[in-house]
Structure 1
């Protein structure tokens, strides 16, 4: 069961991310400022983690050293030898093909529509997006994906130096609160009403987003320390599939043939990658067992010369 914990954890995280996307969309469509939303999200996450981290470190104190030199060396080592792929083996080919299928399926779900299968659109006003806004949004999403990938890679040296994942998550949320607050105030300083939460949906969305932030960053860091960054990152397209299912079933959003094909491609690709990772893990465990076989040392005492011979 222990081998399946990272998998179950990542699937649960993608479900939380799907709910976060839907709640965020609902709150922003009500007119809530996205910058204010991020500030409240980080504040809730910090307030939730602070007492838990303080209690855990009071019960079990440990020394944490974030030396810059040691961090840099471990980070470079993780960046260079992050994921080894043997293209000559079946498991290596499976990891490559599965990764391409996951990424390609997510792209198909986002960009390819095709005929509508369920929930025909009631009006076309909600889907009218200016081309410049669409291009700018795609650019921001690309930058976000790059930053997210860099963050996942950084968890390898951080987990090595500081194994307390909740402690590092607390500091990250606290610093993110300061940064997002400065950014929001600099832009929305003339809109004092933007900071007021006027509905239960806005309040609930901020609280849910803070809970997801505190849980997801901690669990994501733990999964990276257990299985590596590639294992954690490969589950991200699954959130798109879950979001599409929930939005189609409960929010009556349109389901296109492109979304269906892309969703199936993501699921199949994820299964192929996990199969390759499982085969690779079994191979490593077998190699370690072979190297850890006990050796017997034979000691012979030569009475005539008083020498001890080791064999």
Structure 2
């Protein structure tokens, strides 16, 4: 009984650390030259290929959940368009123009946006005399203030780069000196904030999706398939050059595979948690992504220091 109660919390904590690692490795992949739009197509295609055998495979006693009604079809199509296709394309573009630190920071806006949307739609009630409601309002204000401060204020480096042995790790930590990236810093911030809005709307939409598609494995598979098709058409239209689809390094391949795996796991985990605890519960764990990013950076920095000492 006790473990069942804490299951959603454990799942959400694990997902945030997964998101942090994806942000770091994707940052390096994009700076090395892989198109953000192509990356999204590969990511969602791999996610569908990984989860489809489980969702549509022999575990089924009946095939009813495999097929979609018109309402479910359009709900999943809309969720894939806003929460995956648009969200991930502008997120990875913003990640390229800014840094993994800013991407993690703007993710802290998701609880605030989700709370406001849920309140407007009647999914959350705010009572002025309720301590719980006051805590939610204060938490929303702190999320917005903290995310804006981290995104817009460029302070001194927190890590001494002389201990970091490779340029690849510099890219992970977001310490690039490219004039082109610096000039587009604000564009990256705006794209990341827009991505947070899309993600919040996607979390709200999951409530209706879970009610219409209670099988979360099938829901995840359809989401990934629709997102892959939508992103594919968008990429062909925006970026028709066939060379942009080439994977030129093992790092890019590994990043695509890991990102695809993370999409399959995270979509299923998010849908399951929201069906049990609601969209705001899922959104409130987003600030942990920043902690996860710092933890991953510390790990790589320690590895770099140890490697330099041994060398």
TM over 0.5: yes
- Quickly say closer, same or farther: Cα 1:119–1:146, change in 2 above 3 A: same
Match of 1:273 in 2: none
CA deviation string 1:154-195 (max 9, x = no partner): 1111111211111111111111111111122223323x3322
Aligned length: 248
Instruction: Spell out the pairing of 1:165-244 with structure 2 (5 A cutoff).
Output: 165-190=216-241, 192-244=242-294
Say which of 31, 34, 39 aligns to 1:32.
Answer: 34
Is the partner of 1:11 in helix, strand or coil?
A: helix
2:52 maps to 1:50: yes
Match of 1:17 in 2: 19
* Greater Cα radius of gyration, structure 1 or 2: 1
Q: Distance in 1 between matches of 2:210 and 2:194?
A: 24
TM-score by length of 1: 0.70
- Quickly say closer, same or farther: Cα 1:220–1:62, change in 2 above 3 A: same
**Once the 2 structures are TM-superposed, how far is the Cα of residue 114 of structure 1 from its aligned partner?**
3.3
Match of 1:81 in 2: 122
Structure having the higher helix fraction is: 2
- Report if the CA contact (8 A) 2:119-2:126 is conserved: no
- Report if the CA contact (8 A) 2:119-2:125 is conserved: no
Q: Distance in 2 between matches of 1:211 and 1:79?
A: 34
Q: Distance in 1 between matches of 2:119 and 2:145?
A: 26
**Once the 2 structures are TM-superposed, how far is the Cα of residue 61 of structure 1 from its aligned partner?**
4.3
2:137 maps to 1:96: yes
Match of 1:59 in 2: 61
* CA RMSD, Structure 1 to Structure 2 (Å): 3.0
2:134 maps to 1:134: no
Gaps of 5+ in 2: 76-116, 165-169, 303-311
Q: Distance in 2 between matches of 1:177 and 1:135?
A: 28
Gaps of 5+ in 1: 253-311
Q: Distance in 1 between matches of 2:269 and 2:176?
A: 39
